[in-house]
Amino acid sequence: MTGRSAQMMILASLLLLLNGVCPAGEAGGTPAVRGASSGMVNYFTDNGFGNPVSTLQHPCAERYKDVTYIAYQGPHEDPFVCAYDHAAKTWSGPVKAGENTMGKTPDAVDPKDVDNHGRPAIIVDGKGYIHLIFGGHGGSYSLGINNLGTPGNGRQTHVVSKNPGDISSWEVLDNVDPFGTYSQFVKMDDGDIYLFYRHGSHRSDWVYQKSTDNCRTFAPPASLLKHKAQESDRNIHDAWYAWFDKGKGDTITASYVYHPCRVMGHTKERYNGYYMKMNCADDSWHNADGKALSLPVTKEYADENTLVFNSGTERSNHGTCHVDNDGNPHILFRMGKGQVRYSRWLGSAWQAPVVVTAESRNQDGDMIVESPLSVKTLLSGGGELRWWNTSDGGLTWAKGACLISSTEAGYVPGALVRNGGPGGWMVVSEHKAVQNHLFRNLYLLGDGGPVERAEAGAGNLGDRLKNLEANPPAPKTDKAEKKKHKKSADSGDGDE
Ligand code: ZN
């Protein structure tokens, strides 16, 4: 090594150390209090609540005209928005953008008392208005008859910013079905916006509603994945978890896993991996091999036509899916110990799934497909968020740069920022191993690690912690516990 390159390496290490993000030795310290500039902190807000972001409700952030807009679940499970202007290097927000009917007062302190399904997804429309969809966990009986599924809780709610590019004020647009959960926006190049969601609790169809006028109106829901009781055992209903994103050109990808939903003796079992693609020119669907599909897809039909892999008795969970320049899909699923597995379509078959890294458990994240052979995954796990890269089409994976780490906390990621980049790839919430409340610091992470914010702007809890101490939530009675468990069995849910 030349003297100059040694100097450069030392300088690079020092810069990393100053930034407080995964320096030599990497794990260690709490990034929030280590490494930020004077008067600054590494998180952009401290009022994330429960599980504020997820890869499932997505996008949770979009970069539009050099501003990254971020939506997350805050106090009372309400949707909040922050914005970062990359040119001016200034933050704004958080602003509360609506009311989640599932929120509780006072703030819950037991994770089991937070529903989390109503966390928001965000999209900026063709005119620059910002839309959030949030608050749904299938909708209650009081909202009317759900023809596509079984009732749950909450109310899927759509709000829009009153002005383009301005997060300061919001209004409700009452134009989508209230029976939604896991709401996801997909925006096409021509400006059409598709809203995908599960139309009720577990035993419900997955549907979409399409808007061709910047979300001012939506077509009625169309079913994609069908729920139904099994012929041989009416106690078990076929159910699904699905993830949607824009594919190549005017197409949308759907990747999903199967959930055998038991009415009696409910479990969270999920199996297998599936894929299909929508041609938005005529809203027709095809499998990876190009065969036209009949919708809605049943379990039997999916096994025959859209299977990526059969997980056998090993449980799986949804991940994310993106296409390469040829339009071929690359898919992440979680399996076994929650470790992410990768597969891609080879043109006539799916590559056997490969474990990206066995270094941690309970991983989650997203990926960038640079070319058919070059893929970067950004994964949480083991108290850090890190890139794992392949240059051989996913057969082998190498450890890449770490964007944040801690010995005292784990990080829960959202899906990649829509149109994000080195200035901000992903939003994560920080979950400390020891804390007596459910508020979370939130971070926007780019190539330089967390995007800093002045401490005064990032501190948004006010008196909430003091108030919680003074007025703690009432202890649960046995009766309330039993009722909750019954509800849980009926509608089948904890978080997810
Ligand atoms: Zn279920």
Active-site annotation holder among 43, 84, 117, 137: 117
Q: Are 164 and 124 in contact, with CB atoms under 8 Å apart?
A: no
Mean of the per-residue pLDDT values of the chain: 90
Residue 475's pLDDT band (cuts 50, 70, 90): confident
- Confidence tier at 483 by pLDDT (50, 70, 90): low
Instruction: State in Å, rounded, how far the first CA of the chain is from the last one.
Output: 51
Q: How far apart are CA 43 and CA 45, in angstroms?
A: 6
Return the DSSP state at 292. Answer: B
Give the Å distances, CA to CA, from 376 to 132, 324, 347, 416, 455: 28, 12, 21, 12, 32
Cα distances (angstroms) measured from residue 196 to each of 33, 68, 219: 39, 23, 12
Which pLDDT score is estimated for 35? Answer: 65
Answer whether residue 385 shows pLDDT above 50. Answer: yes
Does position 259 have pLDDT exceeding 50, yes or no? yes
The token duo for 245 is: 């994103």
> With respect to CATH, is domain 40-491 assigned 2.120.10.10?
yes
Pairing mode of beta strands 79-85, 321-323: unpaired
- Say how many Å lie between the CA of residue 421 and the centre of ligand 1: 37
* Higher-scoring residue by pLDDT: 302, 496: 302
Question: 266 CA distance to ligand 1 centroid (A)?
Answer: 6
Distance 155 CA to ligand 1 centre (A): 19
Res 28: pLDDT:
36
Q: What is the pLDDT of residues 1-40, one digit of tens each?
A: 444 544 444 443 333 333 345 644 444 334 443 467 889 9
Active-site residue (options: 43, 84, 182, 275):
182
Q: What is the mean pLDDT of residues 385-400?
A: 98
pLDDT digits (tens, 9 = 90+) for 128-171: 999 999 999 999 889 999 999 999 999 999 999 999 999 999 99
CA 4–ligand 1 middle distance (angstroms)? 60
**What are the sequence ranges of the domains in the chain?**
40-491
Q: What is the pTM of this model?
A: 0.91
Confidence tier at 268 by pLDDT (50, 70, 90): very high
How far does the centroid of ligand 1 lie from the alpha carbon of residue 268, in Å?
Answer: 6
Is it the case that residue 84 has pLDDT exceeding 50? yes
Q: What's the CA-to-centroid distance between 495 and ligand 1, angstroms?
A: 12
182 as an active site residue: the answer is yes
* Residue of higher predicted confidence among 208 and 141: 208
pLDDT at 478: 56
Q: How confident is residue 495, by pLDDT bands cut at 50, 70 and 90?
A: very low
Distance 236 CA to ligand 1 centre (A): 9
Q: How many angstroms does the Cα of residue 228 sit away from the middle of ligand 1?
A: 12
Q: Measured in angstroms, how far is the CA atom of residue 126 from the centroid of ligand 1?
A: 37
Query: For 311-363, what is each residue's pLDDT tens digit?
Result: 999 999 999 999 999 999 999 999 989 999 999 999 999 999 999 999 999 99
424-431: average pLDDT: 98
